[in-house]
């Protein structure tokens, strides 16, 4: 238990980075750790695609934060303002939490790259609610097409982004479509999934051998892999690529990169730091941004 003279460290975000930091610091009796997150659980984000395709229930990838690190001070709340001059953060509830050191580990949001129509028509997959929305869309479309409420073409699915998330979700959807064929044999032939990647290969951060292995595995599952194709604009059921091709899709899942939330970019502006790609904040001095 930290005493009154302990250094107050506030960690914002109970993801992998935030929990690892809080757990490590909690071992020091001279440090008093406060962990803040708007959810009372840690999300195992790598398995969100399983929730989105019905492979796992939500509870299987969400773990109580309070049980993860017994003894730390956990505050459930959403940070709406950071005041570096006063060494405090304000929560949506109005509560101010003071700190000697502040660790920001809030994670990221999907990056639409300001492409027209993406925010309005594509589904993201960054949290449980978004994964739930994808599952409801995928399964509900079968029911509505079967009842004649939607066009059969709406069973077509497009996944944009050939990184790990895009590859995983495209493969899982292909597997789901095979399973749904037993329940909806009359319309199963109209279901397919297309994976679109802007670059020349899937999994660009992996080795070329791994990229090719992933492409072959997806093709074997029935996924159409489209490479060297950049999205130009998007409509409710159409995706226009810059090469002139138009894809039809009743469901479009956007997995083409991440960015920082807009409200946190002011941290860089306060220090005259120009945000890098995706809104990332340069932190050349010990990974430190903002003023003390």
- Which pLDDT tens digit goes with each residue over 145-187? 999 999 999 999 999 999 999 999 999 999 999 999 999 999 9
- Same domain for 59 and 15: yes
pTM assigned to the model: 0.88
Residue 22 lies in a domain: yes
- Same domain for 155 and 89: no
Query: Which member of 58, 98, 153, 168 is catalytic?
Result: 168
Q: Give the integer Cα–Cα distance in Å for 89 and 94.
A: 10
What total number of domains does the chain contain? 2
Strand 101-104 to 109-110 pairing = unpaired
Residue 231 lies in a domain: yes
Of 8-17, 144-153, 191-200, 280-289, the least confident: 280-289
Residues 196-237 pLDDT 10s: 999 999 999 999 999 999 999 999 999 999 999 999 999 999
Percent of the chain with pLDDT over 90: 80
Burial (CB count within 10 angstroms: exposed 0-12, middle 13-18, buried 19+), residue 65: buried
Taking alpha carbons only, the member of 73, 21, 17 closest to residue 43 is: 17
pLDDT score of 165: 96
CATH number of the domain encompassing residue 22: 3.50.50.60
pLDDT score of 205: 94
Residue 267 lies in a domain: no
pLDDT score of 291: 42
Q: How confident is the model at residue 3 (pLDDT cuts 50, 70, 90)?
A: low
Residue 292 lies in a domain: no
Q: How confident is the model at residue 263 (pLDDT cuts 50, 70, 90)?
A: confident
Q: Give the integer Cα–Cα distance in Å for 260 and 104.
A: 11
Residue 284 lies in a domain: no
pLDDT score of 272: 46
pLDDT score of 9: 96
- Same domain for 131 and 29: no
- Same domain for 237 and 138: yes
Q: Give the range of the structural domain holding residue 247, as residue numbers without chain letter.
A: 118-258
Of 52-56, 65-69, 125-129, 259-263, the least confident: 259-263
Residue 216 lies in a domain: yes
Mean pLDDT of the chain: 91
Residues 75-106 pLDDT 10s: 999 999 999 899 999 999 999 999 999 999 98
- Same domain for 246 and 148: yes
* 282 has pLDDT over 90: no
- Same domain for 245 and 211: yes
- Same domain for 86 and 168: no
* 1 has pLDDT over 80: no
Residues 18-52 pLDDT 10s: 999 999 999 999 999 999 999 999 999 999 999 99
pLDDT score of 265: 66
Q: Percent helix, strand, coil in the chain (nearest 5)?
A: 35, 25, 40
* 279 has pLDDT over 70: no
- Same domain for 68 and 194: no
Residue 268 lies in a domain: no
**What strands lie across the sheet with 88-91, from one edge to the other?**
79-83, 88-91, 96-98
The tokens describing 108, both together, are 């990221």
pLDDT score of 77: 97
In the annotation, is 175 catalytic?
no
- Same domain for 199 and 103: no
- Same domain for 140 and 97: no
Angle between helices 164-183 and 128-146 (to 10 degrees): 30
Residue 290 lies in a domain: no
Residues 118-133 pLDDT 10s: 999 999 999 999 999 9
pLDDT score of 292: 40
């Amino acid at each position: 238990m930290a005493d009154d003279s302990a250094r107050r460290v506030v960690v914002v975000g109970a993801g992998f980075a935030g929990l690892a930091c809080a757990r490590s610091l909690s071992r020091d009796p001279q440090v008093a750790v406060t962990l803040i997150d708007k959810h009372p659980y840690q999300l195992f984000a790598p398995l969100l695609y399983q929730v989105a395709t019905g492979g796992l229930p939500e509870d299987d990838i969400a773990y109580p934060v309070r049980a993860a690190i017994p003894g730390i001070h956990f505050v459930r709340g959403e940070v709406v303002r950071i005041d570096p001059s006063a060494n405090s953060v304000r929560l949506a509830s109005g509560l101010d939490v003071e700190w000697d050191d502040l660790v920001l580990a809030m994670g990221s949001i999907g990056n639409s790259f300001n492409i027209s129509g993406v925010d309005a028509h594509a589904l993201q997959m960054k949290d449980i609610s978004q994964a739930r929305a994808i599952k409801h869309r995928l399964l509900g479309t079968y029911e509505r097409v079967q009842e004649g409420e939607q066009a059969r073409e709406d069973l077509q699915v497009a996944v944009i982004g050939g990184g790990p998330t895009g590859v995983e979700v495209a493969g899982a959807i292909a597997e789901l479509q095979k399973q749904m064929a037993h329940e909806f044999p009359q319309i199963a032939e109209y279901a397919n999934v297309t994976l679109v990647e802007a670059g020349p290969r899937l999994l660009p951060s992996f080795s070329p051998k791994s990229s090719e292995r992933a492409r072959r595995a997806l093709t074997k599952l029935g996924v159409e892999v489209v490479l060297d194709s950049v999205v130009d604009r998007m409509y409710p059921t159409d995706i226009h690529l810059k090469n002139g091709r138009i894809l039809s899709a009743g469901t479009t899942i956007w997995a083409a990169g991440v960015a920082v939330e807009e409200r946190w970019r002011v941290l860089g502006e306060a220090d005259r730091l120009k945000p890098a790609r995706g809104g990332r904040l340069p932190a050349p001095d010990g990974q430190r941004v903002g003023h003390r």
